Structure 1
Amino acid sequence: MGIKVGITGGIGSGKSYISRIFKAMGVPFYDADKEAKQLMNHDPDIHKGLVNAFGTEVYQADGVLDRKWLAEQVFNNNDKLEILNSIVHPLVIRHGEMWALRQTAAYSLKEAALLIESGSYKSLDCLILVSAPEELRIERVMHRDAVSRAEVQGRIDKQMPESEKEKYADFIVHNDGVSPLLPQILHIHQQILQREWSK
């Protein structure tokens, strides 16, 4: 197992795009949000926890999670959102840690929107934050999800401020549409490899 690196960023920051560049460079990549969706459908402990907390309506007749229904339950309800996170996050963190143990490259990359908020950053060796100006993030999400400015702003307001996330970051990628991305990514790549050699 090599160095465990996390990559995170607020909605519309472009963290998934940056992650794909690392992946294209041959870095093993774990998409925590994608894996969480899979686990919510297939992990028996999560299934049991969600049914106990939210009722049988949380799953459709075919056994697939009713994402829309669940989203409506936790939207604007922090208590229910905390319950949801307490059921899902620990198991996703454990799943990601087991995946990292199997990797043989110099380092592996774990992408998650809530790496800091969930506390899973504590199991990582270093953290990359993808940063972008708020106005640009709003425009990106409006275009990507075909939603209103107010809806995107509401999502941003619910997230940890970028300035707070910077306190946890070892590296920052400035995805502002102006600064070239590849030189930043290659610099971080080299810095992480040097950490591996110096271990």
Structure 2
Amino acid sequence: MYILGLTGGIGSGKSTIGKWFLEKGIPVYDSDKEAKLLMNENPSLKSQLIDLFGPETYLNNEYNRKFVAEQVFENKEKLAALNAIVHPAVFHHFQEWVSLQNSEFVVKEAAILFESGSYKDCDFILTVAADESIRIQRVMERDQVTQEQVQARIANQWTDEQRIEKSDFVLYNNASLEDLKNQFHKTYKKLLKRIQRS
């Protein structure tokens, strides 16, 4: 079974592309969503995170994302320690998920596909790119956060240029939703041809 890595910076629109794959009957693994579930439900993961950040990591048994975000904000060592705990757990969970699928290919959606190293497990990579100013505006409106907060998140991610260099397919999300959908349909056809040739 082939694995398509779907990535893009914060606010690029990769979740929209993930939904369109689902509409075509392609299974999509949302790494960010699954990581949140694991952090709330996996006892081993929870104890490791509490050891790292302290008891405030969980409020009423719920992962305290805001608190942890503040801890790793501008602290690359703590961010690396967090990723070293969460990424292996997500990797194993993804492997189990793949074994249950019955499809020509599956999509692994991940904001930090390259940064986490999980791009190495993908057969093809699709990046959704958008101008930084557009992405900042989208995230400010979506998450009700400041420009500075969005830029801090962007600073911890690869640039579009870095992603594009290692990608098989690129969608540019600077115009209308209709324009993005047209690009998606063309890319989907190209991807199927690549899979059939492999």
Name the TM tier (shorter chain). Answer: over 0.9
> Residue 132 of structure 2 aligns with which residue?
134
* CA shift digits 1:52-72 (9 cap, x unpaired): 222233222x32222222222
TM-score (norm 2): 0.92
Secondary structure, in 3 states, of the residue corresponding to 1:180? helix
* CA shift digits 1:88-111 (9 cap, x unpaired): 011101211221222111111111
> Residue 175 of structure 2 aligns with which residue?
177
Identify which of 97, 102, 105 aligns with 2:103. Answer: 105
Shift of 1:192: 2.2
Q: RMSD over aligned Cα, in angstroms?
A: 1.6
> Residue 58 of structure 1 aligns with which residue?
57
> Residue 82 of structure 1 aligns with which residue?
80
1:92 aligns with 2:90: yes
8 Å CA contact 2:115, 2:157 repeated in 1: no
Shift of 1:181: 1.8
Query: Which stretch of structure 1 is more off in the superposition, 134-143 or 117-126?
Result: 134-143
> Residue 160 of structure 2 aligns with which residue?
162
1:66 partner amino acid? N
8 Å CA contact 1:36, 1:88 repeated in 2: yes
8 Å CA contact 2:7, 2:113 repeated in 1: yes
TM-score (norm 1): 0.92
Percent identity of the aligned residues?
A: 43
> Residue 192 of structure 1 aligns with which residue?
191
Secondary structure, in 3 states, of the residue corresponding to 2:21? helix
d(CA) in 2 for partners of 1:34 and 1:122?
21
Shift of 1:3: 1.1
8 Å CA contact 1:9, 1:113 repeated in 2: yes
d(CA) in 2 for partners of 1:81 and 1:154?
13
d(CA) in 2 for partners of 1:195 and 1:55?
48
* CA shift digits 1:112-141 (9 cap, x unpaired): 111110001111111100011111111111
d(CA) in 2 for partners of 1:48 and 1:154?
27
Q: How many residues align?
A: 197
8 Å CA contact 1:106, 1:193 repeated in 2: no
Which stretches of structure 1, 4 residues or longer, exceed 4 Å deviation after superposition?
Answer: none
2:10 partner amino acid? I
Shift of 1:73: 1.3
Long gaps (5+) in structure 2: none
d(CA) in 1 for partners of 2:181 and 2:113?
23
> Residue 123 of structure 1 aligns with which residue?
121
d(CA) in 1 for partners of 2:134 and 2:54?
39
